[in-house]
Structure 1
C-alpha cells in the first residue's frame, strides 16, 4: 500500500464520516450553544510551536476576543487546510486583539507535532487536547466515536473520536457572538477562518474611538 493511496483513503474515510448519518449512532449531545450565551470557561493542555502549556479561556479573554474552533483530527485534509488558513491569517487576528485556540481529541504529543508543523499551525497559534470530550460537551459540539480504519495523511491510524467542525467567536466579555458549523451552515474549513476573522475585525473596529 503506497503513501498516496493511504492519503486518499484518509480523505475518503473522513468525508464518509460526515456524509453518513453516523452522528445518530453517537451519544446525544447537548444543543450547541447559541450566540448570546456565556462561553463556558475552561482550561486544557495545549501546544504552541511544539511546546505544551495550560490554556485558560479566562486568561485569553482578558486580552481580547477568542476564537475557539473545534476540529476532527490533526493531519487530516480539512483540518490541515483550516489550520494552514488560520496560520496564514494569524497576524490579522492578532491585530484585532484576538486569540485563536483549536480543540480536538488528539493527544498532546500529536498536537506538539501539528502545532509546530510549518505546513499547518506553523507555530502561529495554539491547539488544545480535549481527550475525553468534556470541553466540547459543554459547548454542545457533536462528537463521532472512534472509527476503525481511519488513516491520516501521514499514514498513521486515528484512534480517537472526532468533533464536528464548529467555531465559536467569543467577545472580551465572554459572550458568544457567532457560531459557525460546517454541518449546519455548509461551510468549508477555510470559510470558518474567513468568517471568524471578519467578525473579530468588526469587534475591533466597533471598539475603536
Structure 2
C-alpha cells in the first residue's frame, strides 16, 4: 500500500523540482511596492521608493519562514549586516508568509538585524518570483535576490533555490555599485 506524502514532504519535493527563474533583467526599473513587515518582532510599513532614498536595497525573496534553507539564509544575511550597513545598503527579506509568522522570524532567525516583509500577490507577480506549487492555496516565492540602485534600477539578479551564494553575490553587487 502506498502512503501519501505529508504536506511538508510534498512541499520539499515541489521546491526541489521547480527551477528558480527571475524574469526581471538587470537594467530594468524595479517595481515599487508598499507592504507590511517586521523588524525585531515589531510591525511597520515598508515602501520601496522611501528605502531607495537612503541608498541601494537588497531585496531577497525566500520561499517559507522557518524552513531549513530560509533559516540558514536569514542567519547569513544577519551575519553580513555590518558590511551591508557600512556600504549604506538596506536589506529586506520577503516571503508570502503572514505578518504574525514574519514577526517571529524577524527575531528568531533574522536576529533583529533586518526587516522581513509580506510579499503580496501583486509584488510576487511584479518581480516574477512565483513558485508554482500544485495544490497550494497560498502563493510562495522562489529564492531570488535583487540589488536595486538608489535610482530604482536593478543592478543584480540572482535566482537559485540553494541559499548559499545569495549573500555573497548581493554583497559583491553592492560593493560594485558603491565602487568599493
TM range (shorter): 0.7 to 0.9
Segments ≥4 residues shifted beyond 3 Å: 9-15, 145-148
Aligned to 2:17: 20
TM-score w.r.t. the length of structure 1 is 0.76
Contact 1:39-1:175 within 8 A present in 2 as well? yes
Among residues 29, 33, 38, which one is paired with 2:24 in the alignment?
Answer: 33
Structure 1 window deviating more from structure 2 (197-206 vs 169-178): it is 197-206
Among residues 168, 171, 174, which one is paired with 1:194 in the alignment?
Answer: 168
SS in 2 for 1:199: helix
Distance 1:48 1:21, change over 3 A: closer
TM-score w.r.t. the length of structure 2 is 0.88
Give aligned pairs, total: 175
Q: Per-residue CA shift, 1:164-203, capped at 9, x if unaligned?
A: 11111101111001110015xxxx2021111101110221
Compute the displacement of 1:146 (Å).
Answer: 7.1
Query: What is the alpha-carbon distance in structure 2 between the residues aligned to residue 84 and residue 34 of structure 1?
Result: 27
Aligned to 1:163: 141
Contact 1:72-1:161 within 8 A present in 2 as well? no
Query: What is the alpha-carbon distance in structure 1 between the residues aligned to residue 53 and residue 177 of structure 2?
Result: 15
Query: What is the alpha-carbon distance in structure 1 between the residues aligned to residue 134 and residue 14 of structure 2?
Result: 10
Unaligned ranges ≥5, structure 2: 1-5
Aligned pairs (5 A) from 1:5-154: 12-20=9-17, 32-117=23-108, 120-130=109-119, 132-145=120-133, 147=135
